[in-house]
C-alpha cells in the first residue's frame, strides 16, 4: 500500500519475498505427503526439510515438531495433550491459552508485566499432583520477556512440565528450548515472515502427547489432517531466515527507544507499559490518560499508519486489555493503550511520521479539539 506505514508486526509480519517465491513454486507441486508414490515422497521431503529447519530454530530435535494450522491450535494441543495434569497459566497469556485452560490456576504478574516467581513457587508447591505450566516467552502486547529459565527450573523441581508460547520471539530474540528448559514450544509462520496457515508445537526429546485432532496417522499420530505442504515449506524457510533477523535487533531497539523518547518529550504524562522489564526490541505499548485507544487507532489509520490496541486476535475490536489489567493498570488508563510493533522494513522516517501524527492528535485532544 503506497505511502502507508505498517507498525503492527506482532499481529502478522509481511511474507518475506524469498518465502513467497518458494511457496509459489511449491503450489505448483502435486502430491500428498502421506502417499507412497514419487509425488507423495517429494511432498514428504519438503515437509521433513521444514521440520528440520524449524527444529534448528527452536533448539530441538526434528522428531519433536508437530505441524498445526495455527499457533492457537498448537497452544490448545499443548494444554489438552496431557490429561490428568493440573494447569497453571499466567494472567497475561494469549486468549488461545486462557480459553483452552479455563480450569487453570492463574499466575499473577508484577507491575512490570513479569510472572511473579514466588507466586509460581507457591502454586506449584500447594498441590502434589503433576502440573503443566504455560507461560509465554515474550508478551504480544507489551513485549515483556518472561523469566522462562527460572520458571522451567521451578516447574521441573516440582515434577511439572513447562509450555511456552514463543510466537513473538523468532527473529527478535534467540530461542533455545534445551538451554531454557522448555518442554513444549509454540511457533507460528506468519509471525516470522511466513504465511498464515502453518504453525507448530515443538516437544522436548522423549516427550509424547495425546492428539487433539484425530483421524489419519499424520504427524506420527499426534495431529490428524493432511499437512499444508506449501505453507509448511515456506514456514521452514522463514525459520531459517529468522536467524538473520537477529542482526537487526539493536536497530529496532534504537528505533523503539527513539519513539518512546520523542513521545514522552512531547507528552510527559505518557505511560509506557513494561518499561521496567526486559522487552522485545521491536515492541512498545503506551497510553496517554484521556486519549482513548479507539480514537488513536482511527486517527492514525486516516494518516495511513497501522498500529494496534492490545492483541489483534479479537475480531478486529479494541477491548480492555487483560494483560494491562493483570499488571495493575486501571481500566481508564488501560483503555488508552496502543501497541507499536516494528519490523525489518521500518526505519527512522516511519518513527518520525508516527511521532508527528500522534503528537498532533494528543495536542488536539488536550485542547479539546475534535480529532
Phi, psi for 130 (deg, rounded to 5):
-60, 145
In what helix (H) or strand (E) does residue 349 lie, and over which residues does it extend? helix 348-366
Non-local CB neighbours of 63 within 8 Å, separated by 6+ positions:
205, 220
Vertex 245: Cα angle to 274 and 192 (nearest 5): 75
- Specify whether 313 is catalytic: yes
Contact 172, 281 (CB under 8 A): yes
Phi, psi for 160 (deg, rounded to 5):
-100, 160
Q: What is the dihedral of CA 247, 250, 252, 255, to 10 degrees?
A: -150
User: Pick the catalytic residue: 112, 253, 313, 355?
Assistant: 313
Give, to the nearest 10 degrees, the angle between helix 117-125 and helix 148-157: 20
Contact 309, 324 (CB under 8 A): no
Report CA Rg, the chain. 21
- The catalytic residues are 313
Amino acid at each position: 500500500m503506497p505511502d502507508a506505514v505498517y507498525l503492527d508486526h506482532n499481529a502478522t509480519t509481511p511474507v518475506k519475498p524469498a518465502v513467497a517465491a518458494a511457496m509459489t513454486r511449491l503450489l505448483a507441486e502435486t502430491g500428498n505427503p502421506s502417499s507412497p508414490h514419487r509425488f507423495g515422497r517429494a511432498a514428504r521431503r519438503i515437509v521433513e526439510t521444514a521440520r528440520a529447519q524449524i527444529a534448528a530454530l527452536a533448539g530441538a530435535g526434528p522428531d519433536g515438531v508437530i505441524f498445526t494450522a495455527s499457533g492457537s491450535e498448537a497452544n490448545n494441543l499443548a494444554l489438552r495433550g496431557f490429561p490428568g495434569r493440573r494447569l497453571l497459566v499466567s494472567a497475561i497469556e494469549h486468549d488461545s491459552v486462557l480459553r483452552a485452560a479455563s480450569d487453570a490456576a492463574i499466575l499473577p504478574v508484577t507491575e512490570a508485566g513479569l510472572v511473579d516467581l514466588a507466586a509460581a513457587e507457591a502454586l506449584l508447591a500447594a498441590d502434589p499432583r503433576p502440573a503443566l505450566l504455560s507461560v509465554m516467552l515474550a508478551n504480544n502486547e507489551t513485549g515483556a520477556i518472561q523469566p522462562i529459565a527460572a520458571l522451567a527450573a521451578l516447574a521441573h523441581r516440582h515434577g511439572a512440565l513447562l509450555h511456552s508460547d514463543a510466537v513473538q520471539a523468532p527473529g527478535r530474540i534467540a530461542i533455545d528450548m534445551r538451554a531454557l528448559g522448555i518442554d513444549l514450544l509454540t511457533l507460528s509462520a506468519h509471525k516470522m515472515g511466513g504465511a498464515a496457515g502453518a504453525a507448530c508445537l515443538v516437544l522436548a526429546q522423549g516427550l509424547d502427547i495425546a492428539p487433539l485432532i484425530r483421524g489419519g496417522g499424520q504427524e506420527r499420530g499426534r495431529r490428524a489432517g493432511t499437512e499444508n505442504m506449501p505453507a509448511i515449506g515456506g514456514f521452514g524457510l522463514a525459520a531459517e531466515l529468522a536467524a538473520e533477523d537477529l542482526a537487526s535487533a539493536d536497530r529496532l531497539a534504537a528505533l523503539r527507544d527513539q519513539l518512546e523518547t520523542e513521545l514522552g518529550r512531547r507528552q510527559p504524562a505518557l505511560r509506557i507499559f513494561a518499561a521496567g522489564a526486559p522487552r522485545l526490541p521491536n515492541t512498545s505499548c503506551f497510553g496517554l490518560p484521556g486519549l482513548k485507544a479507539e480514537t488513536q487507532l482511527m486517527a492514525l489509520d486516516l494518516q495511513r499508519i497501522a498500529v494496534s490496541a492490545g492483541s489483534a486476535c479479537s475480531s478486529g475490536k479494541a477491548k480492555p486489555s487483560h494483560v494491562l489489567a493483570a499488571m495493575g493498570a486501571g481500566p481508564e488508563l488501560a483503555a488508552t493503550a496502543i501497541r507499536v510493533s516494528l519490523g525489518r522494513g521500518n526505519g527512522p522516517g516511519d518513527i518520525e511520521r508516527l511521532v508527528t501524527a500522534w503528537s498532533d492528535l494528543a495536542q488536539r485532544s488536550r485542547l479539546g479539539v475534535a480529532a
